[in-house]
Amino acid sequence: MATPTLKAKKVKKEKEPLDLDLQNTEVAFADKSNSELRRRYWLFKMLNSETLNSFGTTMAELSLRWHLPIKWAIKATIFNHFCGGETIEECESTVETLAKSKIGAILDYSVEGRYEEEDFGRTKDEIIRTIKRAADDDRVPFAVFKVTGIAPLGTLEKVSSETELTDKGKWKWERIQSRIDDICKYAHSVNQQLFIDAEETWIQNAIDQLVTEMMEKYNRERPLVFNTFQLYRHDRLEFLKKSHQIAREKGYFYAAKLVRGAYMEKERERAAEMGYESPIQPDKAATDRDYDLALKYCLDNDIAVVCASHNEESNHYLAQLLSEKGLPNNHHNAFFSQLYGMSDNLSYNLARAGYNVSKYVPYGPIKDTIPYLIRRAEENTSVKGQMSRELELITKELKRRKL
């Protein structure tokens, strides 16, 4: 099967600059009341402070370890801001609020730190529930999951490093493959597009292998299963191109979700400790360059692409590429996505301009999502300027409202 080519309209060489304002705070915070905006201001004020952030994450870790009764405090602050609820059903109000602004919700079951086969089975069943919800609800355009939610880390690491598996290890790997196939098979049966997230480099080879197998099996009719590329890795642009060429040769659709990455500090520390070359780009400029080149490669080669980024320039760049190719803003193979509770200036302004926009909406029991929330807080402070930008936008809107 040859991948169909999108016929772009001819455009003039001299083209007017794209009229897209991603800094409009009136649009970004239109669905936030004054009191909600003030609460958001104080939350980001805390997250922007390394000392307060560190204190908060330490207290959350201790509460998890010592079973301290501070669930109410976590739920009223960071949980309510970054999560949609404790169950799929509790996410309904968030889904509906986003839908009113033409933003889709991606329900992300964010329970981490499970290690037993029974836990993996329960998580697999919950992921399938999110797929069913997405298939039944136009407001939920995609489903998503992390392989580590249904697989032991040790097995993924051994497969990634091509270490020979014991009989027990082979059994575990077969169980992982079976769970992944169950999820993707169900998504295919209900025609629901599905993201599989990227993770640390030392387990990513196994994940890439699994996703490639699922793409070859279930992406025959349309781009259904998406692999995720962390472009802060210096090898990912080339891997994207190579993976796409294999898909063309074997006759299946390729689909890519592009992120910059979430494990930079951990990756550099591990590389230094173990004495191997860091997989991370030498600087931010190299990451930005490869990210935008990946966006262009996908659009030039008819690859379904998700710009899953909080970087304003990259979001604007994909919008510009669509314009230059004469493609509609809501083209069926071009998507934008940000995390719930972050970068509303991008999500709401892009949605208002008619682009395909969605938000990752994590959910799960509070005690089980604490590891996710801690990681989210730590990642945000490690991304230079992210919290400051959020705070600046909120402050700008507070001033506009004369609050």
pLDDT given for residue 351 in this prediction: 98
Three-state SS string over the chain comes to: CCCCCCCCCCCCCCCCCCCCCCCCHHHHCCCCCHHHHHHHHHHHHHHCCHHHHHHHHHHHHHHHHHCCCCHHHHHHHHHHHHCCECCCHHHHHHHHHHHHCCCEEEEEECCCCCCCHHHHHHHHHHHHHHHHHHHHCCCCCCEEECHHHCCCHHHHHHHHCCCCCCHHHHHHHHHHHHHHHHHHHHHHHCCCCEEECCCCHHHHHHHHHHHHHHHHHHCCCCCCEEEEEECCECCHHHHHHHHHHHHHHHCCCCEEEEECCCCHHHHHHHHHHHCCCCCECCCHHHHHHHHHHHHHHHHHCCCEEEEECCCHHHHHHHHHHHHHCCCCCCCCCEEEEEECCCCHHHHHHHHHCCCCEEEEEEECCHHHHHHHHHHHHHHHHHCCCHHHHHHHHHHHHHHHCCC
**Cα 332 to Cα 355: distance, rounded to the nearest angstrom:** 10
How much is the pLDDT for 57?
55
pLDDT digits (tens, 9 = 90+) for 256-269: 999 998 888 889 99
> What is the three-class DSSP state of 190?
coil
Q: Is the pLDDT of residue 58 over 70?
A: no
Three-state DSSP state, 201: helix
Q: 209-223, 239-253, 331-345, 377-391: which range is least confident on average?
A: 377-391
- Are 351 and 101 in contact by the 8 Å Cβ rule? The answer is yes
- C-beta of residue 225 within 8 angstroms of C-beta of residue 219: yes
Using CA atoms, how far residue 137 sits from 77, 133, 312, in Å, is: 28, 6, 29
User: Residues 350-385: pLDDT tens digits?
Assistant: 999 999 999 999 999 987 777 777 666 655 544 445
Instruction: Report the percent of the chain where pLDDT is more than 90.
Output: 74
Q: Which residues pair with 259 in a beta bridge?
A: 230
CB neighbours of residue 306 within 10 Å:
26
Class of domain 84-379: alpha beta
- What are 283-294's pLDDT values in tens digits? 999 999 999 999
Q: Which of 388, 352, 331, 360 is nearest to 110 (CA)?
A: 360
Segment 219-233 shows an average pLDDT of 98
DSSP assignment of 367-389: HHHHHHHHHHHHHHHHSTTHHHH
Within 13 Å of residue 69, how many CA atoms lie on the same side as its CB? 0
What confidence score (pLDDT) does residue 376 get? Answer: 62
Q: Tell me, what's the pLDDT at 45?
A: 82
- Lowest-confidence range among 1-5, 57-61, 151-155, 350-354? 1-5
As a whole number of Å, the CA-based R_g of the chain is 21
pLDDT for position 143: 98
Distances (CA, A) of 122 to 131, 238, 338, 340: 14, 36, 27, 25
The better pLDDT of the pair 74, 124 is held by 124
- pTM higher than 0.95, yes or no? no
Sorted by where each begins, the domain ranges of the chain are 84-379
